[in-house]
Amino acid sequence: MAIITASAIIRALSLFHLSLSYFLIASPSTIAKQSLVSILGASMQLPTPPSFWVASPSTALAALILALLGFTDLTACSLPEDIASYYWGSQAPIRCTFFFALTGYAYAFKPGGPVRGNAKQANPWDNLNTSLVFTWSFLEMINWFWIFITLREERRELAVRKAERKRAEENML
C-alpha cells in the first residue's frame, strides 16, 4: 500500500500548477531565481530566458495554461474511485512520456548538445532549450511517473478488495 495516494499527489501537483500560474503573472523572476532552476539549468548548461525576468504576454499565456491544467486536474480528482482509476491510468503514462520527451529534447537539442553539436543554425524550437522548460518538464516527469506507479499499486489493491467482497457475498448465499 502506498503511503501517499495518487489522488493526493495529483492534488498537490494541481496546487503546484496554480502556484506557478500565480507567480508567472505576478512575478516571473521569482521562478527564474529559484535555486532548483539555477542548479538544474547550470548543470545541464541551459540558459535562463531573459523574458522571464519581467511579466510579459508569453508568461501570462503560460500562466493561463497552467491554471487551466491545475483546475481541470483538481476537478478530475473528485471523480469516483473506479472512474478516476481509468482516467488517471490513461493520463499518467501519456503525460509521463510527453514530459520525458520534452526533458530529453531540452537537453539533447541545446546548442552544443549531444544531438545538435556546435551547429549555429537557429530554429524556432530553440526557445524550449531553457533552464525553466527543463526544470518544469523534469519535475513533471518525476511526478507523473510517481503517480503512474502509485496508480498501479492502488489498482491492484482495488482488485483484491473487489475479489474479497465478491467472495464474502458468495459465502453469505
pLDDT at 172: 81
Integer Cα distance of 151 and 5 in angstroms: 8
Provide CB contacts within 8 A for 106, sequence distance 6+: 44, 46, 128, 129, 130, 133, 134, 137
Integer Cα distance of 56 and 150 in angstroms: 38
Q: How far does Cα 74 stand from its chain's mean position?
A: 14
- In this prediction, residue 51 has a pLDDT band, given cuts at 50, 70 and 90, of confident
Torsion of CA 21, 26, 29, 31, to 10 degrees: -30
Average pLDDT over residues 29-41: 91
Tell me the pTM.
0.87
Of 153, 134, 132, 131, nearest to 9 by C-alpha is 153
Average pLDDT over residues 31-37: 90
Average pLDDT over residues 24-44: 91
More confident residue, 65 or 48: 65
- In this prediction, residue 1 has a pLDDT band, given cuts at 50, 70 and 90, of low
Q: What tens digit of pLDDT does each residue of 139-169 get?
A: 999 999 999 999 999 989 888 988 998 898 8
- In this prediction, residue 76 has a pLDDT band, given cuts at 50, 70 and 90, of very high
DSSP string, the chain: --SS-HHHHHHHHHHHHHHHHHHHHH-HHHHHT-HHHHHHHHHTT-PPPGGGSS--HHHHHHHHHHHHHHHHHHHHTTS-HHHHHHHHHHHHHHHHHHHHHHHHHHHHTSTTSTTTTT-----GGGGG-SHHHHHHHHHHHHHHHHHHHHHHHHHHHHHHHHHHHHHHHHHH-
- In this prediction, residue 119 has a pLDDT band, given cuts at 50, 70 and 90, of low
